[in-house]
Amino acid sequence: MPSNIGNPEERRRSFSWSDARKELGFPEDSHNIGWYCSDRICDLGMGEKTALVWETADGRVARFTFNDLRVYSNAYAKHLSGLGLRPGDRVAVFLERVPELYIGMLGGMKAGLIMQPLFSAFGEDALEKRISNAETSAILTCRKLTFRVRKIRERCPSLRHVIVCDPGDLSFQEGEAAFGLETAKPVESFACYPAEPETPSILHYTSGTTGMPKGALHVHGSLPAQALTSKWVLDIKDEDIYWCTADPGWVTGTSYGIIGPWALGATQYVLEAGFIIDRWYRAIQDQKITVWYSAPTAIRMLMKEGEAKAKQYDLSSLRHLCSVGEPLNPEAVVWSERVYGLPFHDTWWQTETGCIQVTNVPGMEIRPGSMGKAFPGVTAAVLAHDFTEICEPNKQGLLALKPPWPSMFRTYWRNPSAYESKFKNGWYLTGDRARIDEDGFYWFMGRDDDVINTAGHLVGPFEIESALLEHEAVAESAAIGKPDPVNMEVVKAFVALKAGFEPSRKLEMSIMNFIRKKLSPLAMPQEIEFVEKLPKTRSGKIMRRVLRAQELGQEVGDLSTLDDN
Ligand code: 6R9
């Protein structure tokens, strides 16, 4: 089957955003994301096509057509406007992965509201910080989470409406009311807010290395970028059953779990439950998933269970696999090719970029461990510390992008100075380090602030972690720079062992020697600490800064996105 992108090199050479809009068949006159993802698909005659296959935590399956998306997002839009909420007001979405989350997001955008997705696992403090910073007016939530919302109401005076989708016999307090799909009446027509390309759409909070989480503000004009990357990178076609495993609390779950795929009229599968290996494999088998977008941590967990587990299921429906969020280890690419017969395609981007920027696309050579090349229309580079471009191949520097692009964030909410600090010399600084090889492939070297400097040599923690994973006893690892009076920093590794291995001095020596041989004496960890598990964000990124702060006895900072916080 030919890929959507065709010849990637040719696409790169001849790219323009106005051609891309034409290729997507997007009209020039309306830009409301809610309308594009539902009404427009119905107008194209696909109203009865399944938009959402939703599997509940207890294994029931419900289906929603694009017409259902249309009439129920209208119902949400009408309800929210009826509460007196006005375009530009912030509405938080604090829900598990239930249909009300997805349809509520579309409805809110139809009404011109700025939707603010929040992980359902957020505790009080995380919730309060984001709601007070955004001065959020309303929150879509469920019965179970209402109790957490109540704890912050007093501290968040802006929050006037708590909208509970499944209240049951909950006795409401002031400002609380019911609205959800069980009882909502379909609304045939709603006059969508006539969003301009610069009209705000979504506010996504993202944790930096320091300080409070920052709200990256996105706009309705992001849509062509999310739709085109869904088409060309994820290779989504009409007949696909697409599964993005990300929660919409993370940007991957909105750009590629709501906007991009539905703008193309694709059928999406959503699993309410989190990662349970047998349920994941059963979902692929039973729902006949064809395109799967996941993350390296999940892939490593699948690898840990081994090939035998994968062979218990019929995974032959799979056609295209992609990964995002953290470095994809080369062995994960090789493993998936062996076990699923398909390599994972690494994609690189950020909350701030709104869509995939550097990536492997179908039809292009995959160099395992490389993030691929710049997406057509994207100008990326690595910069030296004076923010000038490094042209020499394989020299690492700051990964930077040339603004603008349609899905770029427009500011950090109420923090313009943090926004401005991300731009230097005409470039947007991503905060990552990378190198570009002689053939234009990008290789991730670590976060700018995580790179270890040992005796004047820069060592990327990812390189060490990747090598550590190749040791037979290592399940997961993180490497940090530990201050050292002689070498400035030395490498310290935190290692979680695979089942069947026990910490011992002998094992420690074996791992150290393994790295010394594999990388270099400089990259060899001087110290190894065995841990049960590593601190991670909900999207699966290892929080090295937490380990580093613990190591140095410093304040750990904002932990609200930590996995089991
Ligand atoms: C979409 C998303 C962005 C940061 C980014 C980088 C890391 C993302 C990656 C990757 C290596 C990849 N990251 N994709 N690192 N290879 N393919 O993850 O957004 O949560 O804002 O994180 O994640 O460090 O700068 P966000």
Question: In this prediction, what percent of the chain has a pLDDT beyond 70?
Answer: 96
Per-residue pLDDT of 5-38, as tens digits, reads 999 999 999 999 999 999 999 987 778 999 999 9
Beta strands in 272-419, from DSSP E residues, in sequence order: 291-294, 320-323, 344-348, 358-359, 373-374, 380-383, 397-401, 411-412
- Work out the average pLDDT over 223-232: 98
Going by pLDDT thresholds of 50, 70 and 90, the confidence category of residue 111 is very high
Q: Which of 541, 544, 545 to mutate to test the pocket of ligand 1 (most atoms within 8 A of CB)?
A: 541
> Any idea where the domains of the chain sit in the sequence?
8-429, 452-552
Total residue count of the chain as it appears in this document: 565
Model pLDDT, residue 489: 81
Q: What's the CA-to-centroid distance between 54 and ligand 1, angstroms?
A: 27
Structure tokens at 336: 């998936």
Q: Which residue has the higher pLDDT, 449 or 535?
A: 535
Q: Which residues contact 553 (CB under 8 A, 6 or more apart)?
A: none
Residue 561: pLDDT over 70: no
Per-residue pLDDT of 234-261, as tens digits, reads 999 999 999 999 999 999 999 999 999 9
Q: What's the CA-to-centroid distance between 549 and ligand 1, angstroms?
A: 21
Counting from 1 in the atom list of ligand 1, the atom nearest the Cα of 447 is 24
Q: Which of 204, 348, 449, 537 to mutate to test the pocket of ligand 1 (most atoms within 8 A of CB)?
A: 348
Per the prediction, the chain carries an average pLDDT of 93
- Work out the average pLDDT over 113-137: 90
Torsion of CA 181, 187, 188, 192, to 10 degrees: -100
Q: Which of 255, 370, 408, 444 to mutate to test the pocket of ligand 1 (most atoms within 8 A of CB)?
A: 444
* Residue nearest to ligand 1 atom 4, measured at CA: 350
Q: What's the CA-to-centroid distance between 64 and ligand 1, angstroms?
A: 31
Q: What's the CA-to-centroid distance between 430 and ligand 1, angstroms?
A: 10
Question: In this prediction, what percent of the chain has a pLDDT beyond 90?
Answer: 78
Model pLDDT, residue 456: 55
Q: What's the CA-to-centroid distance between 446 and ligand 1, angstroms?
A: 10
- Work out the average pLDDT over 178-207: 95
Per-residue pLDDT of 392-407, as tens digits, reads 999 999 999 999 999 9
Q: Which of 218, 259, 324, 447 to mutate to test the pocket of ligand 1 (most atoms within 8 A of CB)?
A: 324
At CB < 8 A and 24+ separation, what contacts does 162-171 make? 162/138, 163/79, 163/138, 163/139, 165/95, 165/98, 165/100, 165/104, 165/140, 165/141, 166/142, 167/143, 168/143, 170/143, 170/146
Model pLDDT, residue 208: 52
CA 383 to chain centre: 25
* DSSP 8-state symbol, 212: S
Per-residue pLDDT of 268-303, as tens digits, reads 999 999 889 999 999 999 999 999 999 988 898 899
- Work out the average pLDDT over 86-98: 98
Structure tokens at 296: 């390296």
Model pLDDT, residue 209: 44
Model pLDDT, residue 129: 84
Q: Is the CB of residue 440 less than 8 Å from the CB of residue 382?
A: no
Model pLDDT, residue 565: 38
CATH number of 452-552: 3.30.300.30
Going by pLDDT thresholds of 50, 70 and 90, the confidence category of residue 563 is low
Model pLDDT, residue 212: 63
pTM: 0.86
Model pLDDT, residue 560: 65
Going by pLDDT thresholds of 50, 70 and 90, the confidence category of residue 455 is low
- Work out the average pLDDT over 324-341: 93
Q: What's the CA-to-centroid distance between 209 and ligand 1, angstroms?
A: 13
Pocket (CB within 6 angstroms of ligand 1): 206, 250-252, 324-328, 346-351, 371, 430-432, 444, 447, 539, 541
Which CATH superfamily groups domain 8-429?
ANL, N-terminal domain (3.40.50.12780)
CA angle at residue 297 from 296 to 303, to 5 degrees? 85
Q: What's the CA-to-centroid distance between 326 and ligand 1, angstroms?
A: 5
